[in-house]
Amino acid sequence: MVQGGDECVDGKLPALAEDFDPMPEHDRLPYLTSRMNLGADVPQTPLQGNGNGGITPTGAFDPFVTTPAPMTPGAVGPVSANPYSHDPTGAMGGAFFANQTGFQQPIQYHLYAPIGPHSQNTLGYQRNVHDLFIPNDLREELQKKSAATLQTLPNTQLPAQVDYFHSLVPLDLSHQKNAATFGYPSWIYKAQSSKDGTFYALRRLEGFRLTNEKAIRSVQAWKRVCNASVVTIHDAFTSRSFQDSSLIFVTDYHPLSKTLADQHLSAATGRYPSRPNSPIPEQILWGYMTQIANGLKAIHASGLAARVLEPSKVLITAKTRIRINACAILDVVQFDTQRTMADLQRQDLVNFGQMIVTLGANSPALVHNPTKAMEHFTRAYSPQLKNSVFWLLNGMQKDQERTIDTFITGISSQLMSTFDSALHLDDQLTSDLGRELENGRLVRMFAKLGLINERPEYELDQRWSESGERYFLKLFRDYVFHSVDSQGDAVTDLAHIITCMNKLDAGSEEKIHLVSRDEQSCFIVSYKEVKKALESSFQALSKPARRMH
Ligand SMILES: Nc1ncnc2c1ncn2[C@@H]1O[C@H](COP(=O)(O)OP(=O)(O)OP(=O)(O)O)[C@@H](O)[C@H]1O
């Protein structure tokens, strides 16, 4: 029987759910911390045992003596570009980032050091194991987005292949298509590219016939517009794959995005469908305006005009994060337009103003009634917002220079507050990223252990994975994963696993008891020694095999 150390004796531990994800809410940090100190009271005796050999000191590279001088807190030396990599060529996956040559590991490398800002001062006992991982809502959002990206549609009537795209899935929410915006019914599909394997959104204009080759070339200029507030255009081509003559635009795919119209202008649902939607808070509206202004600035600076700027053609790709969609289409479809670019750009300002008024009215009933919508807007929002929108609505007037740059100068104080929110979000995400950073190293350790443990044979040695220093790795694997508590129940405590693996990666001096399954052998060994065994066994596996004939 393998005993997992002190942590096993205090009764049954929380079970690890199947998908390895959820940690019980009650899994409090002190509980975790007690595991971080695990083994601290194990006597610091030298490596000993009566089993299959020991860890032989090798004259080879020692990953633990890379620090030229003893470290003091805060004295983390110069860090190379990839501190984990000893293989600048990146060959062999940087040998899974082992051997931190030139990298001084911080003291207590095995402990988590959350990066601020911290929204609240919580005491140790108020924190739980969730604090060590990406926040649940963000994780859920990202997982839903990946599920949406990977979604497929079996038995579909859609073509199997459209040029270099396959696996089409429709993204339209309704089957009714109006041709009002582009002059042709349009459909949107998610599809995977066979060129690069990534996912794109394809917008198909049904029944379009290309009469002028130059028209489709106008998309080239759009490919160069790279702006965070504009859905990037990648390509356009005509296709007969849908049994008609279709025009296809290839754009970035933003999983689970909605349009502004879906979000704010659809009829209220739920318990009180007859009640009007609650107005969009002014700060959100300013946030939208800032982002649209940012997109328009890039578009106009490239000598282009958005041309379509309406709530159903602006995507919300994350909470309050929007992007102008469906650009470039009218440039192809109405290639022969007589209007000058300056005129079209001024029209963009007017469309921009109208869109904000429509959103401010926030009601499907007012979408087609501009006077009422304007009245509502004036009542609901501050004079500064109203004046900015009026300025946009007068975009066609030639009384003064009306460009997107002038507009941006006029709303500079609002830009600052949106910028500040963006910086806060950036801090938050960096902090979340810091938590997840630790998990990457655990995966590398699991991968290495998996490569070594139970390997049936190596270089004709059937006992390779059971002999020499690999024997410690086998016992260590049992210690981490196969421990049982005093009642003989499996220890399924994620905190135990994470703590052990972090200490292993850090090469902690802390000692642990490793006991063989038959309880005939017992070793007291430090994580540092186990890590050394792991590294050298892994390096033995990584080197070109000796051919034995
Ligand atoms: N690039 C994209 N990535 C992901 N989803 C998209 C993308 N473009 C559009 N969509 C989704 O496809 C759906 C349909 O988009 P579309 O632009 O056709 O709007 P619509 O509301 O159907 O307007 P219309 O009535 O003019 O067709 C929207 O729900 C939108 O979220």
- Give the domain ranges of the chain: 149-267+278-402, 438-542
Rounded-to-5 percentages of helix, strand, coil across the chain: 40, 10, 50
Total residue count of the chain as it appears in this document: 549
Instruction: Give me the pLDDT at residue 470, please.
Output: 85
Instruction: Give me the pLDDT at residue 365, please.
Output: 72
Residue 303 Cα to ligand 1 middle (Å)? 26
Count other Cβ atoms within 10 Å, centred on residue 483: 24
Distances (CA, A) of 276 to 174, 258, 268, 283, 356: 23, 20, 7, 20, 18
Instruction: Give me the pLDDT at residue 225, please.
Output: 97
Find the residues whose C-beta lies inside 6 A of ligand 1. 171-173, 177-178, 181, 186, 188, 201, 231, 251-254, 257-259, 261-262, 312-313, 315, 325-326
Residue 373 Cα to ligand 1 middle (Å)? 24
Collapse the DSSP code of 219 into the 3-class scheme (helix H, G, I; strand E, B; otherwise coil) and give the result: helix
Q: Going by CA atoms, what residue is nearest to atom 23 of ligand 1? A: 312
Q: Going by CA atoms, what residue is nearest to atom 31 of ligand 1? A: 258
Residue 16 Cα to ligand 1 middle (Å)? 40
Calpha distance 183→334 (Å, rounded): 9
Evaluated on CA atoms 490, 495, 500, 501, the torsion sign reads: positive
Count other Cβ atoms within 10 Å, centred on residue 121: 6
Encoded tokens for 541: 């596996």
438-542 sits in which CATH class? mainly alpha
- Spatial contact of 498 and 481, defined as CB atoms under 8 Å apart: no
* Residue 249 amino acid letter: F
> Where are the alpha helices (H) located in 306-397, listed in sequence order?
329-333, 341-361, 370-380, 383-393
Residue 171 Cα to ligand 1 middle (Å)? 7
Phi and psi torsions of 125, nearest 5°: -75, -15
Specify the residue for token string 């998908």. 19
Calpha distance 48→514 (Å, rounded): 11
Predicted model pTM: 0.73
* Residue 381 amino acid letter: Y
CATH number of 149-267+278-402: 1.10.510.10
For residue 252, say whether it is annotated as part of any ligand binding site: yes
Calpha distance 210→244 (Å, rounded): 12
Instruction: Give me the pLDDT at residue 520, please.
Output: 87
- Spatial contact of 453 and 477, defined as CB atoms under 8 Å apart: yes
To test the pocket of ligand 1, the residue of 149, 172, 263, 266 to mutate (highest count of ligand atoms within 8 Å of its CB) is 172
Q: pLDDT of 263-322, one tens digit each? A: 998 865 555 555 666 789 999 999 999 999 999 999 999 999 999 999 999 999 999 999
Atom of ligand 1 nearest to the CA of 261: 21
For residue 251, say whether it is annotated as part of any ligand binding site: no
Q: pLDDT of 500-525, one tens digit each? A: 998 898 888 999 999 888 888 888 99
Calpha distance 257→482 (Å, rounded): 44
For residue 269, say whether it is annotated as part of any ligand binding site: no
Specify the residue for token string 């000993």. 48
User: What's the ipTM?
Assistant: 0.97
Q: Going by CA atoms, what residue is nearest to atom 14 of ligand 1? A: 172
Instruction: Give me the pLDDT at residue 442, please.
Output: 83
Instruction: Give me the pLDDT at residue 298, please.
Output: 98
Which regions of the chain are under pLDDT 50?
A: 1-92, 549
Instruction: Give me the pLDDT at residue 101, please.
Output: 55
For residue 511, say whether it is annotated as part of any ligand binding site: no
Calpha distance 256→261 (Å, rounded): 15
Encoded tokens for 493: 């405590």
- Spatial contact of 354 and 366, defined as CB atoms under 8 Å apart: no
Rg (CA), the chain: 31
**Who's near 347: CB < 8 A, 6+ residues apart?**
305, 307, 339, 395, 396
